Structure 1
Amino acid sequence: MEKRLLEFVNSLRSAGVRISPGEIVDCLEALKSYGIAEHRLFYRLLKATLIKSETDTPLFDLAFRLYFQEEVEKPEPLTSPGCCDGFASGVDGSGTGKAGMGAASRQLYHAIQEGQSQILISLAEKQLAQLTVGEEGIDQLLHQIKVSMEWFMVENAFEREGKEGEENAGILKDLEQYLRHRIEKLAVAQKGEQGLSDILWEENLKQKDLGALNEVQVKEMEKRVERLANKLASRYSYRFKPAKSGRVDMRRVLQKAARMGRTPERLFYQDKVMDRPRIVVLCDISGSVAVYSAFLLQLVYAMARRFADLRTFLFVDEIAEVTLPLKTGPVQDAVRQALQEARCSRLGISNFGQVFELFRLHYGEILHPKTTLVILGDAKNNWYPPRKEELRTISEQVHRIIWLNPEPKAKWNQDDSIIGLYGQSCSDVIECRNLDQLEQAVRKIV
């Protein structure tokens, strides 16, 4: 068991979960005291000793299923004899129910409507038996099965039934969860340790490309980004200034004593002053980086409530300020409103040089020697004149420029990418395409 446990820990580590040697020792001591016979207690002991952050729980649960559960647990609605009691179905031609369905979708629809849990499991197992795991991810394999079962027609039918179809739609979700877990087991069975490693890596949201998230992962990532923003926004830097009371300023006292040749008559004091950085954000929202921009704006939204001196601008080939919309309402509504209201595109393709000129002309007065200018963009200028002198002029007015580039480094300075030209005027140019990189970038900013 110790060997299996260490393999489990190593898999979590390689997938991005931080586990220290001390935590492994604590885990082994806990298991020595309580044993491993009771499955639920075993799960709780591992989680309590190895997982520090709630954001790592989904990854832990996935690894635990793959390592320590022989069989995939069926969701409760699929094990109860009277599970899918369902509601009255619509009739053909009514605009609801089975109208327009094929043979596979009718079979799936009827099985849910009539509470036939064994048939539902049988339909799932039939598809799984035909599945061959290759290089595809779990999401792709699940999609293949859904297409074969004509899943989406059934899903749409329950949606059209409104409230009457909600419970049956829930059964469909439970079946989807069962299929996902079974596919994960099949991948490990067919590909061994490599399959297990691939699955854990695919679910590692800290390292996953923000542009490759599925719907469920996007919602989880939004929560993580909000927590990250609140955490980082509280990381103010401090400096000391002379004061009438507080901490003794030994440097000044000793300097005075050295000049006088004796102990000074009075002490010198200093006190902490919170140094809140001035931040200006320029965010490209053209199609190639739109997903990354949405997550950065969520960060900006949370930080705007902590930093009074934070200004936000969106751009494509023109520029518009969205500071006020990002300070009001729930985060999703605020980001959506900012993106909808911004009038920053005429032709719909990026023109960085023109944007930098417009920013300097219309908003140059807000720049200050203490300002940190943050730019998010891939620097693909669509063969327009780069006007790098505009960014150089801006850099002379601010403390520093940090450029966040969501493109992989391997693609920098290829085709119409001119990040090398613009990087000459920046303090830092950082690849920023996943949560880990985003966190590192924001730490530099604040």
Structure 2
Amino acid sequence: MEKKLLSFVHALRHGGLKVSPGELMDALTSIATYGIEDPEQFYILLKATLVKSETDGAIFDLAFRLFFREEAEKPGDLQKPDSSTGFGTSTDGSGTGKAGMGRASRALYEAVTKGHSEDLISMAEKILSGLDMEEDRVDQLLFQLKVKMEWFMVENALERGGEEGQENLQLLKDLEQYIRYRIEKILVEKKGDQGLKDLLTEENLMEKDFAALNEFQVKEMEKRVARLAHQLASRYSYRFKASKSGRVDMRRVLRKAARLGRTPEKLLYRDKVMNKPSMIVLCDISGSVSVYSAFLLQLVYAMSRRFHDLKAFLFVDEIAEITAQIKTNHMREGIGQAITQTRCSRLGISNFGQVFELFNQNFGHILDRKTTVIILGDAKNNWYPPRQEELKLIAQKAKQVYWLNPEPKEKWNQDDSIIGLYGKYCQGVMECRNLDQLEQAVRKIM
């Protein structure tokens, strides 16, 4: 068991969990004390000793399933015996029945609405046996299976089926979860340890490209961004300033004594005050770059109490401020609406030089020596004039400028990328494609 547990911990690290030797010793001690006879207790013991945060629970559960579960578990209603809900008998084309469905979707619809969980599993297993497992990505294989089962037509019918439709939709979601577990098992059986590492690496959200996230991973990533923001927001920096009380400022006292040639009549004091800078964020939302901008804005705005003032702008070839839109809405929804609805593009392709010129003309007055400017963009200027003097002007007015680039470093300064030209006026230019890089960048800036 010790050897298997060591392999298990190694797999967790592939998934991005930081498991220390001390935590591994705690796990071994708990197992030695309570044993492994009770599967549920064994799961709880390992999770309690090896997982430090709620956001790491999904990776732990995936690794635990693959290491210690012999068969794919049946979630939710799939564990219940077959039942009949009586729903789904309509065929009148009203939007809640089977009208217009094909053979596969009719069979799936009947099984879901009548609660025939065993039939659902049999149907899924039959399709699984015919899938080409050369594709080693779970999401792609799951999508192929859904297409063959005509899944989306059934899902659409249930979504329009009222309260009963929502209940049946949950059974369909449970089936999807079961199929995902089965695909994971099949891939590990096929590829062995390498398949296991591939699955866990694929789910390592700390190092996964924001643009490659699926629907479930986006929701999990938002939780992680919120947690990271909470951690970073509590890490304040401080500076000293002159005050009427507090610590004696010996440097100033000695300097005054040297100037006067005698001991000053009054001592000079200093006090520690919290440093809350002003922040301006400029985010490119052209093409796939908007995904990276969304996560940066979520992180920065979740840390808003950390700043004296925070303003956000979106740009493509024009620029628009979205500060008010985010502050007057729920943060995540506000950012999403701003990215999809804000008009900051005339031609639809990036023009950084023009954007910097427009920013200086319309918003240059808000810059001062306490302002930190963060620019997120790939610096692909589509062969337009770079107008680097406009970025230089921003850098001269602001305290510091940092550039976060979602492009891989090996693609910088190739073709129409001019990040090297703009980087001359920045205190730092950092690659920012995933949560790990985003965290490192924000820590450095703050």
Structure 2 length normalisation: TM-score?
Answer: 0.94
**Paired residue secondary structure (2:272):** strand
CA distance in 1, matches of 2:158, 2:342: 37
CA distance in 1, matches of 2:240, 2:84: 67
Shift of 1:339: 2.8
Q: Cα–Cα, structure 1 residues 367 and 261, in superposed 2: closer, same or farther, change >3 Å?
A: closer
Deviations along 1:236-261, one digit per CA (max 9) or x if unpaired, are 21011233332344555677789999
Check conservation: 1:304, 1:327, Cα contact below 8 A: no
**Paired residue secondary structure (1:280):** strand
Equivalence for 2:444:
444
**Paired residue secondary structure (1:287):** coil
Shift of 1:336: 3.2
Shift of 1:303: 2.8
**Paired residue secondary structure (1:396):** helix
Equivalence for 2:279:
279
Check conservation: 1:350, 1:381, Cα contact below 8 A: yes
Q: What is the identity, as a one-letter code, of the residue corresponding to 2:445?
A: I
Deviations along 1:163-195, one digit per CA (max 9) or x if unpaired, are 231111111101000000010010100000111
- Counterparts in 2 of 1:357-436, with a 5 A limit? 357-436=357-436
Q: Cα–Cα, structure 1 residues 42 and 259, in superposed 2: closer, same or farther, change >3 Å?
A: farther
Deviations along 1:108-143, one digit per CA (max 9) or x if unpaired, are 111122232221111111122223432431100111
CA distance in 1, matches of 2:28, 2:231: 32
- Counterparts in 2 of 1:112-131, with a 5 A limit? 112-131=112-131
Q: Cα–Cα, structure 1 residues 407 and 126, in superposed 2: closer, same or farther, change >3 Å?
A: same
Equivalence for 2:39:
39
* 1:19 has 2:16 as partner: no
Equivalence for 1:207:
207
Equivalence for 1:229:
229
Check conservation: 1:304, 1:326, Cα contact below 8 A: no
Equivalence for 1:352:
352
Shift of 1:444: 1.9
Deviations along 1:313-361, one digit per CA (max 9) or x if unpaired, are 1111111111122222211232134335533111111110000111112
Q: Cα–Cα, structure 1 residues 259 and 385, in superposed 2: closer, same or farther, change >3 Å?
A: closer
CA distance in 1, matches of 2:313, 2:147: 42
Range with bigger deviation, 140-149 or 412-421:
412-421
* 1:54 has 2:54 as partner: yes
CA distance in 2, matches of 1:370, 1:332: 27
Check conservation: 2:85, 2:114, Cα contact below 8 A: yes
CA RMSD of aligned residues (A): 2.2
Q: Cα–Cα, structure 1 residues 135 and 93, in superposed 2: closer, same or farther, change >3 Å?
A: closer
Q: What is the identity, as a one-letter code, of the residue corresponding to 1:333?
A: E
CA distance in 2, matches of 1:40, 1:260: 77
Deviations along 1:371-414, one digit per CA (max 9) or x if unpaired, are 21100111111111111121122212222211011111122122
CA distance in 2, matches of 1:114, 1:323: 50
CA distance in 1, matches of 2:82, 2:327: 50
Deviations along 1:228-279, one digit per CA (max 9) or x if unpaired, are 2233233221011233332344555677789999998865532111111121
Equivalence for 2:75:
75
Check conservation: 1:86, 1:112, Cα contact below 8 A: no
**Paired residue secondary structure (1:324):** helix
Equivalence for 1:216:
216
CA distance in 2, matches of 1:256, 1:382: 58
Check conservation: 2:89, 2:97, Cα contact below 8 A: yes
Range with bigger deviation, 121-130 or 142-151:
121-130
Q: What is the identity, as a one-letter code, of the residue corresponding to 1:310?
A: L
- Counterparts in 2 of 1:235-274, with a 5 A limit? 235-251=235-251, 268-274=268-274
**Which segments of 5 or more consecutive residues in structure 2 lack a partner in the other structure?**
none
Q: Cα–Cα, structure 1 residues 258 and 27, in superposed 2: closer, same or farther, change >3 Å?
A: farther
Check conservation: 1:86, 1:167, Cα contact below 8 A: no
CA distance in 1, matches of 2:329, 2:86: 38
CA distance in 2, matches of 1:119, 1:226: 41
State the number of aligned residues: 446
CA distance in 2, matches of 1:381, 1:261: 61
CA distance in 2, matches of 1:147, 1:268: 76
CA distance in 2, matches of 1:384, 1:86: 64
CA distance in 2, matches of 1:180, 1:365: 54
Q: What is the identity, as a one-letter code, of the residue corresponding to 1:50?
A: L
CA distance in 2, matches of 1:76, 1:304: 39
Range with bigger deviation, 340-349 or 396-405:
340-349
Check conservation: 1:84, 1:117, Cα contact below 8 A: no
Q: What is the identity, as a one-letter code, of the residue corresponding to 2:196?
A: L
Q: What is the identity, as a one-letter code, of the residue corresponding to 2:232?
A: L
CA distance in 1, matches of 2:25, 2:254: 49
Q: What is the identity, as a one-letter code, of the residue corresponding to 2:279?
A: I
Q: Percent identity?
A: 67
Q: Cα–Cα, structure 1 residues 305 and 266, in superposed 2: closer, same or farther, change >3 Å?
A: closer
Range with bigger deviation, 203-212 or 222-231:
222-231
**Which segments of 5 or more consecutive residues in structure 1 lack a partner in the other structure?**
none
Deviations along 1:42-75, one digit per CA (max 9) or x if unpaired, are 1111111111111111101111111111111112
Q: Cα–Cα, structure 1 residues 420 and 84, in superposed 2: closer, same or farther, change >3 Å?
A: farther
**Paired residue secondary structure (1:187):** helix
Equivalence for 2:322:
322
Deviations along 1:13-54, one digit per CA (max 9) or x if unpaired, are 122111111111111111111111111111111111111111
Structure 1 length normalisation: TM-score?
Answer: 0.94
